Amino acid sequence: MARKETVRNAEKLVERAMRGNDASHDAAHVWRVRELALSLAREEGLFSNPDSMEIVELAALLHDIGDYKYLRDPSEEKIVVNFLEQECVEEHKKMKILQIVKGMGFKEELAGLPNGEFFPEFGIVQDADRLDAIGAIGIARCFTFGGSRSRVLHDPMIQPRSDLSKERYMKKDEQTTVNHFHEKLLKLKDLMKTKAGQKRAEKRHKFMEEFLKEFYDEWDGRA
């Protein structure tokens, strides 16, 4: 099957599978991650390798299908595997795509699971997803997700958790929206795997720091 057709089918799957999600994890998020990933791949010198570019694009498109935060049915975890098999994606590409999709999350890093530093496509897709979680877009997504879960905006009496395990991180009801910046988003800059990702993360990280300073000043009536 031609790569273009597989990509189109992946796009249709994204629109279908993520239709009910809030705007922090909708199809628009996937389109941004795809464009970021392809751009990072070009900067990292992968543009001359068609197989690598295909792995990057498909993994970016499929990375949030079956996200645990939105699972409505346990069988949804198998959607990506079934899709790749139906599309007859070559075995070596399929294995890399699945490794990226299953291992790129922040919770996996907290658990100390092996990440994909051993092959560049992993770091590229992971960095693209993390770039979309920080900066102006990241701020918007963070508050959108918090609002969708009726989470407390900010409570000075609730301190960010410093000893996060994978299990504790997944208990979203234990955190305020603003604490999520300290528990995850402000840490992402130093977790970037590619030089291109690190470079882009600097500006987005600085923007979040400036936003939080203004937020706290306004919250306390100092601004």
Q: What is the mean pLDDT of residues 40-55?
A: 95
- Tokens 């139906």 belong to residue: 86
Topology, domain 3-219: Hypothetical protein af1432 (1.10.3210)
Q: What is the mean pLDDT of residues 100-122?
A: 75
Give Cα 191 distance to the centre of its chain: 13
* pLDDT for res 3: 84
Q: Which two tokens stand for residue 217?
A: 């000043």
Mean pLDDT (the chain, rounded): 90
* pLDDT for res 219: 97
**pLDDT of 15 strictly over 90:** yes
Domains of the chain: which residue ranges?
3-219
* pLDDT for res 105: 83
Q: Which two tokens stand for residue 41?
A: 């791949």
pLDDT tens digits, residue range 161-209? Answer: 877 655 666 565 568 999 999 999 999 999 999 999 999 999 999 999 9
* pLDDT for res 92: 95
pLDDT class of 70 with cuts at 50, 70, 90: confident
* pLDDT for res 169: 60
Q: Is the Cα dihedral 7, 15, 106, 203 positive or negative? A: positive
Please state, for a pLDDT cut of 70, what percent of the chain lies above it: 87
Q: Do 38 and 56 form a contact (C-beta atoms < 8 A)? A: yes
Q: What is the mean pLDDT of residues 89-106?
A: 92
**pLDDT of 97 strictly over 80:** yes
Please state, for a pLDDT cut of 90, what percent of the chain lies above it: 75
Q: Do 7 and 58 form a contact (C-beta atoms < 8 A)? A: yes
**pLDDT of 112 strictly over 90:** no
* pLDDT for res 130: 97
Q: Which two tokens stand for residue 51?
A: 């197989």
* pLDDT for res 171: 65
**pLDDT of 73 strictly over 70:** no
The pTM of the full predicted model, rounded to 2 decimals, is 0.91
Q: What is the mean pLDDT of residues 35-46?
A: 97
Q: What is the mean pLDDT of residues 126-140?
A: 98
**pLDDT of 1 strictly over 60:** no
- Distance separating alpha carbons of residues 31 and 198, to the nearest angstrom: 21
